Amino acid sequence: MRKPCREKMTEMTKGAWSIEEDKKLIDYIQKHGEGCWNSLPKAAGLRRCGKSCRLRWINYLRPDLKRGSFGEDEEDLIIRLHTLLGNRWSLIAGRLPGRTDNEIKNYWNSHLKKKLLNMSTLHPNKPREINRPPNNKLGKDFNDMDDEVSSADYAGIGVSSCLGPELNLDLTLSIIS
């Protein structure tokens, strides 16, 4: 079995990143690009595991990140995508330029979950028919989603009604490809 990175690198730093560490990581990636994460820490002079570097870069240091609160349009898009895709945060993040999966996941768990829960109490009628994309190219079987309460159920709205035709087609194409 594969060893977790913490076992093979016991001297690794953990916890919050310092300004110096951030600078080293940024400098290295600006010079060499996002190459091999596993060898990056050593090459960049960081006492972190590759995973940690990757996470820090993707979720915080990347220059194209859009910081700040979510707009109403973004919020709406997240709800719609979550209805269709479930907890596939990376796929959802792919539809929101400048946003990360971690950011969306946090926002969902802290804001949108509650919001939709409130909406469900206002609209108790639960629709049962959900249009799902073909079950391929996705890590998790869509049948598993039966175990999860979808946001459409929370919101009392059906997917077909809440997804625009362009998004539906676009998503289907991206899933098939």
Partner DNA sequence: AACGAGGTCAACCGCGCTTAC
Partner DNA sequence: GGTAAGCGCGGTTGACCTCGT
Cα(93)–Cα(101) distance, rounded to whole angstroms? 5
Cα-to-chain-centroid distance, residue 161: 24
Burial of 20 (0-12, 13-18, 19+ CB in 10 A): exposed
8 A C-beta contact, residue 69 and residue 104: no
56 binds DNA (CB under 7 A): yes
Encoded one letter per residue, x for contact with DNA by CB under 7 A and - for no contact, window 98-117 reads ---xxx-xxx-xxx------
26 binds DNA (CB under 7 A): no
Q: Which of 29, 46, 77, 89 binds DNA (CB under 7 A)?
A: 89
Of the two residues 65 and 162, which places its CB atom closer to DNA in the complex? 65
Q: Which of 26, 55, 145, 167 binds DNA (CB under 7 A)?
A: 55
Show the tokens assigned to 60.
Answer: 């915080």
Encoded one letter per residue, x for contact with DNA by CB under 7 A and - for no contact, window 130-159 reads ---------x--------------------
Cα(27)–Cα(100) distance, rounded to whole angstroms? 21
Helix (H, G, I), strand (E, B) or coil at 86: coil
Of the two residues 10 and 125, which places its CB atom closer to DNA in the complex? 10
Residues with Cβ within 8 Å of 103's Cβ and at least 6 positions away in sequence, in order, are 59, 93
Shortest approach of DNA to residue 125 CB, angstroms?
26
Contacting positions for DNA (CB under 7 A): 2-4, 6, 13-17, 35-38, 48, 50-52, 54-56, 59-60, 87-91, 101-103, 105-107, 109-111, 139
